[in-house]
Amino acid sequence: MTDLRPARIAVGAGFFLQGLVFAAIVTQAPRIKDRFDIGDGGLTGLLVLVAVVSGVGSVLAGLVAERRSSAVAFRAALLTIGAGALLVGIAPSRPVLVGAFVVYGLGVGGVDAGMNMQGVRVQEAYGRSIMASFHGMWSVGGILGALYAAGVAGLDVPFVGSLLVVAAVTTVVATVSARWFLDVREHDPGLSAAGLDLPWRPVLVLGLVVLVFYACDTGILTWSSVYLEDALHASSAVAPLAYGAYQGGALVSRFGGDLLVRRIGTRSVVVTGTATGVVGLAVVVVSPAPAVAIAAFFVVGLGLAILVPLAFASLAAAVPPAARDVAIARMNIANYVGAILGGGLIGAAASADHLRWAFVIPLVTVPVVLVVARSFRAGDAASA
């Protein structure tokens, strides 16, 4: 029997790198603002640009996977985010910084698509649910990336130097890991996307789940600390704990979710997780004190973080094998649509001095997942 552990570790390393590089760049936003003298609006524009370009990167990853393999697409995208981090670090002017974020955004989209393509392939080879643990590695990378950014800022390490290290680590780990990716072609490389049998219904239905999650996730990333500080009068030291608690819940959800899927099935986990997340969001909205809100954000992460890995695994089970990579690349675009919509809608409510009501938006949209829960395939990779 083939030992699949090297492939699992290698793909997990790719998820980890994506979270690490993202956090190492985004959490240094204040240093970017100071270095290039840009305001909140300019920074928001850069982040929106990354989201838009990431959609292009996801499509490109699908094209590469069609013509070569998802392993090639994943490796190229990982090297691209490393190059993007390097360019962001050394950019001497605003126009070059914009170009650097375009490169980084293309890599982000490619990695998001490629890592899920490879993840579902490894899960299928294992014959049981392991997809959630891959996304757990993304969360670990994100937490370590944020801690790294805080550390280099505290030690007054130059911004350029901090991202040079990130770029070097990404390049080395991606190059070493790539040899263990599952390099399998799904179909004749001469067959174009137009010739693939790609059913759109599961892409759109499960893509709606991805969109709803990332709209909520982006809102929490952007506004949870502001909510605690401005609406609940938490101190500047306590306010960031809201997002930390959310990520803590996400870690528990993703590293424990696979075991739960094996025991009660995918659909039951989706329904339970969604209901748990809705309860958490309701408590966030009515929280009388920072401590209650922090606990509620933990519950939100605990419930909702399992949805995306199970959506990608279910899509892989719902489409023909020859169309799997293309389907994943196209559904992945919902990630960025959700991020833009979530950040925009929740931000509009928050900027109108209704911070408490801002979190009503995910509270009323997340239950949509319950309506489409039957679209999730039961059990594990064997159903594929």
Q: Which two tokens stand for residue 181?
A: 């990716």
Domain 198-379 indexed as CATH 3.30.70.100: no
Instruction: Write down the domain spans for the chain.
Output: 1-180, 198-379
Q: Are 303 and 279 in contact (CB under 8 A)?
A: yes
- SS3 string of the chain? CCCCHHHHHHHHHHHHHHHHHHHHHHCCHHHHHHHHCCCHHHHHHHHHHHHHHHHHHHHHHHHHHHHCCHHHHHHHHHHHHHHHHHHHHHCCCHHHHHHHHHHHHHHHHHHHHHHHHHHHHHHHHHCCCCHHHHHHHHHHHHHHHHHHHHHHHHCCCCHHHHHHHHHHHHHHHHHHHHHHCCCCCCCCCCCCHHHCCCCHHHHHHHHHHHHHHHHHHHHHHHHHHHHHHHHCCCCCCCCCHHHHHHHHHHHHHHHHHHHHHHHHCHHHHHHHHHHHHHHHHHHHHHCCCHHHHHHHHHHHHHHHCCHHHHHHHHHHHHCCHHHHHHHHHHHCHHHHHHHHHHHHHHHHHHHCCCHHHHCHHHHHHCCHHHHCHHHCCCCCHHHC
Does the global pTM surpass 0.85? yes
Query: pLDDT tens digit string along 157-210?
Result: 998 999 999 999 999 999 999 999 998 765 544 444 444 567 788 999 999 999
Higher pLDDT, 280 or 355: 280
Instruction: Copy the structure tokens of residue 125.
Output: 């080879």
- Residues constituting the chain: 384
Nearest to 88 by CA among 171, 180, 162: 162
Q: Is the pLDDT confidence value at 379 over 90?
A: no
For 77, the token pair is 């995208």
pLDDT at 96: 95
Distance CA 267, CA 287 (A): 30
User: pLDDT tens digit string along 275-330?
Assistant: 999 999 999 999 999 999 999 999 999 999 999 999 999 999 888 888 889 999 99
Q: Do 1-180 and 198-379 have matching folds?
A: yes
The predicted pLDDT at position 365 comes to 95
CATH among 3.30.70.20, 3.20.20.80, 1.20.1250.20, 3.30.465.10 for 1-180: 1.20.1250.20
Q: What average pLDDT does the structure give for the chain?
A: 89
